[in-house]
Chains A and B, each alone.
Chain A
């Protein structure tokens, strides 16, 4: 299936402030892009759209936006972890409280709360993960689209 792409540049949007992402407004995606010094494209899907933010180092961040302009999911893949405090926005504190790594343990961070789901896996050179809010999934859209 062919998808029309809308290419945008990172320039001249630095006036936009406020990070966010998960649970935030679509505008917050642009501030993520600026902060990441990345390029971005928008992929329309049935019932939502995906902002794909990519960096030359191989990082790919996807932000899933409902038609009412809310980010209901994010995913990441790349050689380093993105700033999760930025990507998870107001859900970051809940994520930190839920995973709170136990000393001496190394494993994935998996949070499956009633509303917030975060899955962060991988290892040096190859991290990937996703997060979404069950309450914000658009009607008829499965959490499985957040990949």
Chain B
């Protein structure tokens, strides 16, 4: 039902866009953008991270970018570096400790501040109020979009529904970054489920001084993938990172290019698109077994898949528990598959070759970027940042259309 509704809305947008673009005879792209083309290339880098107490954070395989945020509609702005580029979440989240701008907090109909909670599978979380900001990347602007201010002082504490008994990741030393740019497959971090008046999940909260409780929040007031709110180049984006040598690299530079088939630099080319399901997952087949809860996540610092018993890869010792430590680098293959987003009865498959090296050896090298860090993720594949090296990976956003079809889809 939801997909049908979205498709209708997109169809009407496309009609009005092509109407506006009729007079622009100089453009040759298939979906004619109505505004004049802007710079759509945002630099990204894997490096040693921000300085934390005089030392680089130095975490492995974290992809960063620099984002400018502004008080909506003004030239009062702040540029913040070392923001994690994360295709595994949605919405911009800035650590309160790194924010100097005074942004307007979002209030609900009862006049109470709206707060957001993001949880991670390792039982950590980020908590904080929603505020609105203009987000500027390359020549693109997302105007007055909700963002999360993570871990501010003088804000009510997170309830158990958010913490789940876990630990916060709200300081620069905990996060190893100044914030997270969530540019996943979905338009919002939650979507219609959190607008439910009866039983929304523990993602949005109303925060009177007496304490916060789960609340329903309209889709428009939720955290947004800023890309889909751009006036143009808004149907998705691609991440391009060069291949790196075995043993890693100190830093790796690449690009996040906005739009898919909207300008000369973002054509699909030979990339094959695979639709993701309503959770953002697809099927990875390994040694003949299908794992249907697999996903691609630039915010995961390794290739996390299955477990030692299934893969035969030995676990690292306690200090690096959760990573694989084979005696020698091991080459493996898997098959990713999903429906063709433009013809869902057809399945599109891609063979993916990858390697897993000894994580302890890699981490002791002093490098920051590795294409062969692996670890366990029982029952599924989490294709983390190593997947992106040597590839162009397109992210087709939910409900947004390109020549590949309608998102959510991956193409590579």
Interface residues of A (CB under 8 A from B): 37, 55-59, 78-86, 92, 95-96, 98-99, 101, 103-110, 112, 119-129
Contacts and interface: CB of A to CB of B under 8 A. Distances in A.
B118 A124 contact: yes
Given A103-B59, A103-B175, A129-B121, A110 B279 contact: no
Nearest to A107: B304
B200 A126 contact: no
Interface of B: 49, 57, 59, 62, 88-90, 118-124, 160-161, 163-167, 169, 173-177, 182, 184, 186, 189-191, 193, 196, 198-203, 279-281, 293, 295, 297, 299-302, 304, 307, 315, 321-322, 375-380, 382, 384
B57 A125 contact: no
A120 B122 contact: yes
A104 B62 CA distance: 8
A110 B322 CA distance: 6
Given A86-B165, A108-B304, 15 more contacts: A57-B201, A58-B201, A81-B121, A83-B163, A83-B165, A84-B165, A95-B123, A101-B122, A103-B173, A104-B62, A107-B121, A107-B384, A108-B322, A119-B378, A121-B379
Contact of A105 (B59, B161, B198, B379): B59
A109 B382 CA distance: 13
A45 to B, nearest CB: 20
Contact of B59 (A96, A104, A129): A104
B173 to A, nearest CB: 6
Contacts of A124: 88-90, 118, 182, 184, 189, 280
A57 B190 CA distance: 11
B121 A108 contact: yes
A99 B122 contact: yes
B121 A80 contact: no
Contacts of B175: 103-104
Given A57-B196, A122-B121, A125-B186, A106 B301 contact: yes
Contact of B200 (A57, A84, A123): A57
A99 B122 CA distance: 7
Contacts of B160: 83, 85
A56 B192 CA distance: 13
A80 B88 contact: no
A125 B91 CA distance: 13
B279 A125 contact: yes
20 contacts: A55-B199, A56-B196, A79-B201, A80-B202, A81-B123, A83-B161, A99-B123, A101-B124, A103-B57, A104-B62, A105-B59, A107-B377, A110-B307, A120-B123, A121-B380, A124-B89, A124-B90, A124-B280, A125-B189, A126-B293
A38 to B, nearest CB: 9
A126 B280 contact: yes
A128 B292 CA distance: 12
Contacts of A126: 279-281, 293, 295
Contacts of A108: 121-122, 304, 322, 375-378, 382
Contacts of B379: 119, 121, 128
Contacts of B301: 104-107
Contacts of A59: 201
B377 A123 contact: no
Contacts of A56: 196, 198-199
A84 B162 CA distance: 11
Nearest to B169: A101
A107 B121 CA distance: 7
Contacts of A120: 121-123
A104 B281 CA distance: 24
Given A58-B193, A104-B49, A126-B280, A85 B59 contact: no
B216 to A, nearest CB: 11
Nearest to A99: B122
